[in-house]
């Protein structure tokens, strides 16, 4: 009888598509092995009204799935890497990171509006986002715009945007999710550091497979899906964030580019909640393996600390504690 591997995922439409991507790739490589997808709702799925910044836990999208991984009900979990805390529960590890989709954020305008960029929006136009990272950067770069929280899956957010009484002019979302849903036509423009002063989230655009530590059978099975360039870049980003967190999730923006085959450039930014202050840094270094990626991220974090990022981060953490 063929061995069966149980694959965990969130129940949202996007999460299911991402699990299917992994399922399809595994079946191509192991046609005689059976993979079964097990969807479930997490805390973040169950509460669709509370602003993401108000939650007191970083494991918003993962803890229920990880409990089933640890008790043996699941063999692996498919995650958006940006949703995976940088410190995993004991006995849980990242087994592999797949090739990264476009990591940038995108601007999506309300149907009927003709503007093509944030800069073209009139004073007081409302931008929908639930992300502290996105909102602080918009406050910094476009202080004339207003921000309004928006929760729900990608489809429901777009419905809220287009509703006559929705009150939004546009949304800021991750390009990867829009593309995986097949909604590329809704993308108005891509945001980046050069044109918009906008940086994306750590790990954004990459899928990761979480497994139990010591499960060599599953590890050897999924390694075929691993992408070296995406793995090293995202692990460097996660090392940067882990070095700065101190137990709280912090809204760090990054932009990573391979400038040569083995040289990685990372730009990183920390912005105060009101957008008035920011700390930026940029580094290029040779990154050949996971240890070098971890060290590279730590050096970028140290650069930010030396430039004064701790003051901003402490204010953000204090705000999260008060409102969480």
Is 280 exposed, middle or buried, given 0-12, 13-18 or 19+ CB atoms closer than 10 A? middle
Assessment of whether the complete model's pTM goes beyond 0.85: yes
- Residue 215 falls in the annotated catalytic set: no
Angle at 270 between CA 133 and CA 196, to 5 degrees: 65
Coil/strand/helix, residue 154: helix
Angle at 238 between CA 154 and CA 226, to 5 degrees: 80
Superfamily of domain 105-201: Periplasmic binding protein-like II (3.40.190.10)
Q: In residues, how long is the chain?
A: 324
Q: Which residues pair with 171 in a beta bridge?
A: 108, 128
pLDDT digits (tens, 9 = 90+) for 135-191: 999 999 999 999 999 988 899 999 999 999 989 999 999 999 999 999 999 999 999
Is 28 exposed, middle or buried, given 0-12, 13-18 or 19+ CB atoms closer than 10 A? exposed
Give the tokens for residue 14. 């996007």
- Name the more confident of 272 and 320: 272
Active-site option among 45, 75, 83, 105: 83
Domain ranges (residues) in the chain: 105-201
**Residue 155: what pLDDT?**
92
pLDDT digits (tens, 9 = 90+) for 210-236: 999 999 999 999 999 999 999 999 999
Give the tokens for residue 265. 């450039």
CB 87 within 8 A of CB 109: no
* Averaged pLDDT score across all residues of the chain: 91
Strands 189-191 and 105-109: antiparallel
Q: Which residues pair with 254 in a beta bridge?
A: 200, 268
Coil/strand/helix, residue 142: coil
**Residue 249: what pLDDT?**
65
């Amino acid at each position: 009888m063929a061995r069966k591997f149980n694959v965990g995922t969130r129940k949202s439409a996007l999460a299911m598509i991402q699990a299917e991507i992994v399922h399809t790739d595994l079946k191509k490589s192991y046609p005689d092995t059976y993979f079964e997808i097990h969807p479930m709702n997490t805390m973040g799925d169950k509460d669709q009204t509370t602003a993401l910044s108000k939650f007191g836990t970083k494991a918003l999208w993962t803890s229920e799935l990880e409990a089933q991984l640890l008790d043996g009900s699941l063999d692996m979990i498919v995650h958006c890497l940006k949703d995976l805390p940088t410190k995993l529960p004991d006995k849980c590890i990242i087994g592999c990171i797949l090739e990264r989709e476009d990591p940038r954020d995108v601007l999506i305008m309300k149907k009927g509006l003709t503007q093509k960029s944030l800069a073209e929006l009139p004073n007081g136009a409302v931008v929908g986002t639930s992300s502290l990272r996105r909102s602080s950067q918009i406050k910094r770069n476009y202080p004339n715009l207003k921000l309004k929280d928006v929760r729900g899956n990608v489809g429901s957010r777009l419905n809220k945007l287009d509703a006559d009484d929705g009150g939004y002019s546009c949304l800021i979302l991750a390009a990867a999710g829009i593309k995986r849903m097949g909604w590329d036509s809704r993308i108005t423009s891509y945001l980046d550091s050069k044109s918009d002063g906008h940086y994306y989230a750590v790990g954004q655009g990459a899928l990761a497979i979480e497994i139990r530590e010591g499960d060599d059978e599953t590890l050897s099975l999924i390694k075929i899906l691993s992408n070296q360039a995406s793995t090293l870049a995202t692990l460097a980003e996660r090392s940067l964030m882990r070095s700065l967190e101190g137990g709280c999730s912090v809204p760090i923006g990054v932009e990573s580019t391979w400038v040569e085959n083995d040289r990685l450039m990372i730009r990183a930014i920390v912005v105060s909640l009101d957008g008035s202050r920011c700390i930026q840094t940029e580094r290029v270094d040779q990154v050949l393996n996971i240890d070098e990626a971890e060290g590279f991220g730590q050096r970028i974090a140290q650069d930010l600390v030396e430039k004064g990022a701790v003051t901003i981060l402490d204010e953000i953490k204090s705000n999260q504690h008060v409102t969480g």
